[in-house]
């Protein structure tokens, strides 16, 4: 029996399972144990069953119009409880600061008059929309759902790579990954307590209902999808299904007198809250792109007059602009008067002449990203780019310095990943999801771990063919009482991880199940004897 | 329920039923063609295709027939296309149909063969199609909530069953001789028929059984009643728009009366014409339902004002 981990060699990057001396970190002991008991044959069978499971269930991701099963690796990414508490607090803090920033920038813009941000930085952002200036969401929330991308550097520190506060996707895979893993690897779950992820739809629905326009007691909430050809369509259906609400397309909706309605078999029905998964530019052909087939004419006016609430709000893109990102630690200090819990990755602002000189001199060592991009598009990784690509990049940066930022190449941390028949270290990131219901910010325990499958590859985006891993946040040891934990955790409708699980004996007397009465034994014997006695007569 | 989703549900019902009925029709006629002499092959195939409103193939062979009605993804009448369309609609209505039902449709679509197969392969394939449709029927009956979505799906299924049974019945007049037993077997109703008529029957009884006997679930009458029933329930659930059901209900009721009070001998003499009437009515009803409930909207077009 070949040990699937005997050839596991960690590289320069931080490995989530093994430390530099080659001993297994405490959080990974149970997983390591399960893996060392498996042969490569076992692992291949598990991997196949995971892939079949996803194809069958249609858990797919569209890459260039082809539906592919979303690749799920069988080795989970494990996060120890104390570390998760830091991440959770850091993510929530960031979302609070970005909320305050958006509220400010779409009203008085004190952050500019106080000199924290230069004004042209905001007004030059492609996702700053004057159409929503002065719009006040009824419960003050603009970032109902946030996805904050985190990485771990070789020193073992968790850093924020980017914020996503427009329409972050990927949460459906967190839920389906968990379901798939529980069915194929039940024994790995048995020895430890992992915090559940299934509470997400309830949390999201609660937050969406609280965002309803004033005076609406029982709001109608819908999910707005671009349609079946969108790469995240699977996620839209899963969210609508698990929240028990309608999944609508733009053509199902209609605006009348500042209110939004959907066309149903019973006529028009009022819609109060729209969880939209359509980009700002496509939402309303009247205000934004006139050629949009996905939007609803008049939607922006309905938002402005308070007839409908959108989640996430229009114009959030200014907050996850990658140049604004470089100011987020300042924004945290300015709005919250707190020190940032999670630091940024070092970043050069290319508008600054000195920084630009330095970056252009050593482009081949750096990663350069467009400020308004998402999905890994347009990123140039210096050490892997050809000379022609670097020259083209140099020209584009000089033309539009506002459009780019540069970062050092960070060796993301690694997790064992099944590559053909053996486990090898592959780079991962983590996207935790935060839901803001206006009263507090809840962070889904874990999040989406994305893994880059080619050796040494550092871009982990799913639209670039990356895979994913189930992310396990371990429950704290039972002797810690819940009052020690941060106030962010509350248990209104979430997990009950601290309650002891006890078996309740069944004391109620059961009525036996009814069965069809049997033929009497005598009859059976007689029938039997007939056959025995007259074997020949039957043929006559 | 969203109009767009209602439309998808209606078509899921229709396409799954059509796949099953096409399989039954093919199976029945494969047998008849093989039992017949070779000389009739092209005629029989051409007649059968005409019955399914396919007329673009000159001198079709058995292999053409299997492709056009069976495995060819480019032919809109093929079982392959039926399941592809059903799956596409199920994908659009995924948040309202049960997970098990979606997986049933999705798995069927993934397993569909695209390569040509011979006659022996055809029976394996057609049996499999019928099994998958039975599974779909079983899962949907077993776990779906009886809401508007269910009603629209049942409505689609019933209308399709009426349409396809009428084609199967019309096919009985294609070849001369003992084709009624084959047609009855194709509907899975041969034994039930023999029991009902004590084994003594003529064409008249067979036609009666398949057309007007509402007790047999694949009869035209049963389908008409079931479709009207679904439509009435939708109207009851949506009192505001109850009148939307009227045109479709009227067409269904008129056809029902026409068949119920028809002289059976006339019916058999004019079998082809009568069955065309049935198909016309199902088309009318389908159009009436879409205009009333699925609210086909023109995509908005935007014009730029004035000159720049």
Question: Can you tell me the distance from the alpha carbon of A487 to that of A492, in angstroms, rounded to the nearest whole number?
Answer: 13
Mark yes or no for CB contact A266/B237 under 8 Å. Answer: yes
Which residues of B lie closer than 8 Å to A, measured between beta carbons?
A: 1-6, 88, 91-92, 94-96, 99, 102-103, 106-107, 110, 148, 152, 234, 237-238, 240-241, 293, 295, 297, 299-300, 302, 304
Q: What are the helix and strand counts (H, E) for chain A?
A: 16, 23
Is residue A67 over pLDDT 90? no
Q: Is residue A390 part of a domain?
A: yes
Question: Which range marks the domain in which residue A364 is found?
Answer: 347-409
Mean per-residue pLDDT, B234-259: 90
Same domain, A63 and A126: yes
Q: What is the pLDDT of residue A487?
A: 40
Mark yes or no for CB contact B106/A247 under 8 Å. Answer: no
Among B5, B10, B95, B297, most A C-beta atoms within 10 A, so best to mutate, is B95
Average model confidence (pLDDT) across chain A: 85
The CATH number of residue A399's host domain is 3.30.1490.270
> Taking CB atoms and an 8 Å cut-off, how many pairs form between chains A and B?
76
Is residue B210 over pLDDT 80? yes
Same domain, A277 and A396: no
ipTM of the modeled complex: 0.70
Question: Can you tell me the distance from the alpha carbon of B278 to that of B297, in angstroms, rounded to the nearest whole number?
Answer: 29
Question: Can you tell me the distance from the alpha carbon of A93 to that of A87, in angstroms, rounded to the nearest whole number?
Answer: 10
Q: What is the pLDDT of residue A491?
A: 42
Q: Is residue A477 part of a domain?
A: yes
Tokens representing B296? 């086909």
Q: Is residue A18 part of a domain?
A: no
Q: Is residue A520 part of a domain?
A: no
Evaluate the omega torsion of the peptide bond into residue A344 and state whether it is cis, within 30 degrees of 0. Answer: no
Q: Is residue A2 part of a domain?
A: no
B3, B96, B110 member nearest A55 (Cβ): B110
Mean per-residue pLDDT, B298-306: 56
Same domain, A310 and A390: no
Residue of A nearest to B99 (CA): A57
Question: Can you tell me the distance from the alpha carbon of A476 to that of A192, in angstroms, rounded to the nearest whole number?
Answer: 10
**Torsion angles phi and psi, residue A266, rounded to 5:** -105, 20
Q: Which residues pair with A369 in a beta bridge?
A: A405
Question: How many CB atoms are located within 10 Å of the residue A190 CB?
Answer: 9
Same domain, A133 and A52: yes
Same domain, A159 and A100: yes
What letter would DSSP give residue A18? B
Mean per-residue pLDDT, B229-249: 89
Q: Which of A359, A381, A409 is the last residue of a domain?
A: A409
Tokens representing B25? 């029709």
Q: What is the pLDDT of residue B199?
A: 67
Q: What is the pLDDT of residue B95?
A: 86
Chain A environment of B3 (Cβ under 8 Å): 252, 263-265
Nearest to B17 by CA among B85, B97, B98, B103: B85
Mark yes or no for CB contact B293/A267 under 8 Å. Answer: no
To the nearest whole Å, the CA of A249 is away from the closest chain B CA by 9
Q: What is the pLDDT of residues A240-296, one digit of tens each?
A: 999 999 999 999 999 998 999 999 888 889 999 999 999 999 999 988 888 888 899
Same domain, A60 and A114: yes
Mark yes or no for CB contact B2/A262 under 8 Å. Answer: yes
Q: What is the pLDDT of residues A333-354, one digit of tens each?
A: 999 999 999 999 999 888 888 8
- Cβ atoms of A28 and A16 closer than 8 Å: yes
Mean per-residue pLDDT, A173-177: 92
B191 vs B182, B216, B221, CA distance in Å? 12, 12, 19
Mean per-residue pLDDT, B52-79: 87
Q: What is the pLDDT of residues A217-244, one digit of tens each?
A: 999 999 999 998 888 888 999 999 999 9
Q: What is the pLDDT of residue A540?
A: 43
A142 vs A95, A335, A338, CA distance in Å? 10, 16, 21
Mean per-residue pLDDT, A521-530: 75
Q: Is residue A176 part of a domain?
A: yes
Chain B environment of A297 (Cβ under 8 Å): 300
Q: What is the pLDDT of residue A465?
A: 61
Mark yes or no for CB contact A262/B110 under 8 Å. Answer: no
Chain A environment of B103 (Cβ under 8 Å): 56-58
| DSSP assignment string, chain B | -BHHHHHHHHHHHHHHHHHHHHHHHHHHHHHHHHHS-GGGHHHHHHHHHHHTT----SS--HHHHHIIIII-TT-TTSHHHHHHHHHHHHHHTTTTS-HHHHHHHHHHHHH---S---HHHHHHHHHHHHHHHHHHHHHHHHH---SHHHHHHHHHHHHHHHHHHHHHHHHTTTS-SSHHHHHHHHTT-HHHHHHHTTT---HHHHHHHHHT-TTSTTSHHHHHHHHHHHHHHHHHH-GGGGGGGHHHHHHHHHHHHHHHTS-HHHHHHTHHHHHHHHHHHHHHHHHHHIIIII---PPP-----S--
Average model confidence (pLDDT) across chain B: 86
Question: Can you tell me the distance from the alpha carbon of B250 to that of B243, in angstroms, rounded to the nearest whole number?
Answer: 11
Q: Which residues pair with B178 in a beta bridge?
A: none
Is residue A496 over pLDDT 50? no
Is residue B83 over pLDDT 80? yes
Q: Is residue A535 part of a domain?
A: no
DSSP alpha helix (H) spans, A186-267 = 186-190, 200-210, 233-243
A241, A265, A290 member nearest B95 (Cβ): A241
Question: Can you tell me the distance from the alpha carbon of A278 to that of A131, in angstroms, rounded to the nearest whole number?
Answer: 17
Mark yes or no for CB contact B304/A252 under 8 Å. Answer: no
Mark yes or no for CB contact B2/A264 under 8 Å. Answer: yes
Same domain, A304 and A401: no
SS3 per-residue string spanning A256-318: ECCEEEEEECCEEEEECEEEECCCHHHHCCCCCCCCCCCCCCCHHHHHHCCCCEEECCCCHHH
Chain A environment of B302 (Cβ under 8 Å): 285, 290-291
Is residue A478 over pLDDT 80? no
Nearest to B183 by CA among B214, B151, B219: B219
Q: What is the pLDDT of residues A387-442, one digit of tens each?
A: 888 888 888 888 888 888 899 988 899 999 998 888 999 999 999 999 999 999 99
Instruction: Select the more confidently predicted residue: B185 or A482.
Output: B185
User: Of A327-336, A452-461, A479-488, which range is least confident?
Assistant: A479-488
Mean per-residue pLDDT, A190-216: 90
Mean per-residue pLDDT, A316-340: 93
To the nearest whole Å, the CA of A239 is away from the closest chain B CA by 8
Q: What is the pLDDT of residue B158?
A: 96
Is residue B248 over pLDDT 90? yes
Same domain, A151 and A280: yes
Mean per-residue pLDDT, A313-318: 93
Mark yes or no for CB contact B103/A58 under 8 Å. Answer: yes
B94, B107, B302 member nearest A241 (Cβ): B94
Question: How many CB atoms are located within 10 Å of the residue A417 CB?
Answer: 21
User: Of B15-29, B47-61, B193-207, B281-295, which range is least confident?
Assistant: B193-207
Q: Which of A388, A409, A430 is the last residue of a domain?
A: A409
CA A331, A336, A337, A342 torsion-angle sign: negative
Q: Is residue A388 part of a domain?
A: yes
Q: What is the pLDDT of residue B133?
A: 94
Helix (H, G, I), strand (E, B) or coil at A241: helix
Q: What is the pLDDT of residue A537?
A: 47
Is residue A204 over pLDDT 90? yes
User: Of A37-51, A525-539, B94-108, which range is least confident?
Assistant: A525-539
Q: What is the pLDDT of residue B297?
A: 53
Nearest to A120 by CA among A131, A112, A132: A112
Same domain, A331 and A478: yes
Mark yes or no for CB contact B106/A58 under 8 Å. Answer: yes
Question: Can you tell me the distance from the alpha carbon of A24 to that of A304, in angstroms, rounded to the nearest whole number?
Answer: 55
Mark yes or no for CB contact A246/B302 under 8 Å. Answer: no
Confidence of residue B176 (pLDDT cuts 50, 70, 90): low
Chain B environment of A240 (Cβ under 8 Å): 95
Task: Mark A155-173 as b/e (b = at least 16 C-beta within 10 Å).
Answer: eeebbbbbbbbbbbbbbbb
Is residue A538 over pLDDT 50? no
Length of chain B: 308
Nearest to B137 by CA among B9, B10, B16: B16
Same domain, A364 and A460: no
| Number of domains making up chain A | 2
Instruction: Select the more confidently predicted residue: B218 or B171.
Output: B218
Same domain, A255 and A366: no
Question: How many CB atoms are located within 10 Å of the residue A469 CB?
Answer: 27
Question: Can you tell me the distance from the alpha carbon of A183 to that of A163, in angstroms, rounded to the nearest whole number?
Answer: 33
Question: Can you tell me the distance from the alpha carbon of A192 to that of A444, in angstroms, rounded to the nearest whole number?
Answer: 19
Question: Can you tell me the distance from the alpha carbon of B274 to that of B260, in angstroms, rounded to the nearest whole number?
Answer: 13
Nearest to B157 by CA among B290, B9, B287: B9
Question: Can you tell me the distance from the alpha carbon of A239 to that of A246, in angstroms, rounded to the nearest whole number?
Answer: 10
Sole residue written with tokens 């392969």: B121
What letter would DSSP give residue A22? S
Length of chain A: 540
Confidence of residue A493 (pLDDT cuts 50, 70, 90): very low
To the nearest whole Å, the CA of B294 is away from the closest chain A CA by 7
Give the rounded distance of the alpha carbon of B174 from its chain centre: 19
Is residue B307 over pLDDT 50? no
To the nearest whole Å, the CA of B72 is away from the closest chain A CA by 20
Same domain, A74 and A61: yes
Pairing of strands A366-370, A348-349: unpaired
Question: Can you tell me the distance from the alpha carbon of B122 to that of A405, in angstroms, rounded to the nearest whole number?
Answer: 61
Q: What is the pLDDT of residue A438?
A: 92
User: Of A23-37, A262-276, A291-305, B289-303, which range is least confident?
Assistant: B289-303
Q: What is the pLDDT of residue B39?
A: 53
Confidence of residue A374 (pLDDT cuts 50, 70, 90): low
Residue of A nearest to B295 (CA): A263
What letter would DSSP give residue A27? G
Confidence of residue A532 (pLDDT cuts 50, 70, 90): low
Chain A environment of B234 (Cβ under 8 Å): 265
Question: Can you tell me the distance from the alpha carbon of B20 to that of B161, in angstroms, rounded to the nearest whole number?
Answer: 9
User: Of A16-25, A159-168, A313-322, A377-386, which range is least confident?
Assistant: A377-386
């Amino acid at each position: 029996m070949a040990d699937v981990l005997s050839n596991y060699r960690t590289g320069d990057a931080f490995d989530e399972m093994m430390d530099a001396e080659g001993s297994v970190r405490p959080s990974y002991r149970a997983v390591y144990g399960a893996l060392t008991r498996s042969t490569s044959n076992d692992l291949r069978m598990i991997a196949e069953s995971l892939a079949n499971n996803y194809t069958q269930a249609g858990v797919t991701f569209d890459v260039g119009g082809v539906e592919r099963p979303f690749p799920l690796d069988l080795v989970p990414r494990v996060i120890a409880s104390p570390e998760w508490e830091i991440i959770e607090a850091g993510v929530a803090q960031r979302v609070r600061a970005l909320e305050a920033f958006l509220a400010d920038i779409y009203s008085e813009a004190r952050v500019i008059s106080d000199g924290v941000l230069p004004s042209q930085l905001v007004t030059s952002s492609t996702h700053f929309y004057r159409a929503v200036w002065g719009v006040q969401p009824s419960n003050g929330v603009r970032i109902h759902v946030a996805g904050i991308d985190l990485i771990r550097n070789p020193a073992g520190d968790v850093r924020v790579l980017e914020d996503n506060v427009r329409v972050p996707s990927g949460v459906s895979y967190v839920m389906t990954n968990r379901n798939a893993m529980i069915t194929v690897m039940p024994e790995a779950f048995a020895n430890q307590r992992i915090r559940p992820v299934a509470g997400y739809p309830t949390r999201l629905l609660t937050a969406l209902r609280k965002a309803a326009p004033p005076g609406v007691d029982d709001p109608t909430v819908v999910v707005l999808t671009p349609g079946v050809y969108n790469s995240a369509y699977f996620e839209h259906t899963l969210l609508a299904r698990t929240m028990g609400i309608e999944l609508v397309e733009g053509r199902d909706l209609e605006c009348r007198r500042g209110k939004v309605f959907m066309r149903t078999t019973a006529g028009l029905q009022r819609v109060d809250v729209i969880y939209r998964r359509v980009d700002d530019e496509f939402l309303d052909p009247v205000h934004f792109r006139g050629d949009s087939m996905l939007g609803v004419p008049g939607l922006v006016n309905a938002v402005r007059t308070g007839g409908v609430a959108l989640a996430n709000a229009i114009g959030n893109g200014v907050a996850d602009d990658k140049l604004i990102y470089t100011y987020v630690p300042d924004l945290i200090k300015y709005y919250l008067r707190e020190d940032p819990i999670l630091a940024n990755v070092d970043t050069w602002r290319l508008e600054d002449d000195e920084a630009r000189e330095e970056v252009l001199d050593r482009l081949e060592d750096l990663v350069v990203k467009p400020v308004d991009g998402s999905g890994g598009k347009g990123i140039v990784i210096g050490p892997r780019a050809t000379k022609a690509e670097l020259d083209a990049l140099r020209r584009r940066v000089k033309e539009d310095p506002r459009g780019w930022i540069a970062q050092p190449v960070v060796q993301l941390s690694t997790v064992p990943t099944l590559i053909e028949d053996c486990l090898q270290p592959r780079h991962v990131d983590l996207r935790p999801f935060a839901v803001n219901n206006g009263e507090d910010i809840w962070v889904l325990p874990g999040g989406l771990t994305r893994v880059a499958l080619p050796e040494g590859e550092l871009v982990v985006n799913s639209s670039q063919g990356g895979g994913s891993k189930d992310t396990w946040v371990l429950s704290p040891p039972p002797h810690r009482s819940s009052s020690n934990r941060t106030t962010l955790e509350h248990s209104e409708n979430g997990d009950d991880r601290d309650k002891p699980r006890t078996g309740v004996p069944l004391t109620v007397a059961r009525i036996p199940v009814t069965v069809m009465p049997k033929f009497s034994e005598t009859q059976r014997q007689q029938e039997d004897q007939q056959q025995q006695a007259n074997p020949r007569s039957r043929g006559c | 329920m969203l109009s767009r989703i209602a439309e998808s549900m209606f078509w899921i019902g229709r396409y799954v039923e059509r796949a099953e009925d096409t399989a039954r029709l093919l199976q029945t006629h494969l047998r008849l063609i093989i039992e017949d002499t070779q000389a009739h092959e092209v005629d029989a195939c051409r007649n059968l295709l005409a019955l399914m409103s396919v007329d673009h193939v000159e001198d079709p062979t058995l292999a053409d027939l299997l492709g056009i009605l069976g495995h060819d993804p480019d032919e809109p009448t093929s079982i392959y296309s039926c399941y592809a369309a059903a799956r596409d609609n199920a994908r659009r209505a995924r948040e309202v149909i049960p997970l098990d039902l979606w997986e049933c449709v999705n798995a069927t679509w993934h397993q569909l063969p695209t390569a040509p197969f011979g006659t022996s392969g055809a029976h394996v394939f057609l049996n499999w199609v019928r099994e998958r449709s039975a599974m779909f029927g079983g899962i949907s009956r077993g776990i779906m909530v009886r809401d508007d979505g269910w009603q629209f799906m049942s409505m689609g299924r019933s209308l399709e069953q009426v349409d396809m049974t009428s084609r199967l019945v019309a096919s009985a007049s294609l070849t001369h001789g003992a084709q009624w037993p084959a047609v009855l077997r194709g509907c899975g109703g041969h034994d039930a028929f023999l029991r009902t008529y004590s084994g003594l029957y003529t064409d008249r009884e067979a036609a009666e059984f398949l057309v007007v006997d509402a007790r047999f679930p694949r009869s035209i009458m049963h389908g008409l009643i079931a479709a009207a029933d679904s439509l009435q329930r939708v109207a009851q659930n949506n009192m505001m728009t109850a009148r939307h059901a009227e045109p479709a209900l009227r067409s269904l009721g008129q056809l029902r009366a026409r068949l119920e009070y028809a002289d059976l001998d006339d019916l058999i003499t004019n079998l082809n014409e009568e069955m065309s009437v049935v198909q016309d009515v199902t088309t009318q009803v389908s159009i009436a339902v879409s205009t009333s409930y699925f609210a086909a909207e023109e995509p908005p077009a935007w014009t730029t004002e004035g000159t720049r």
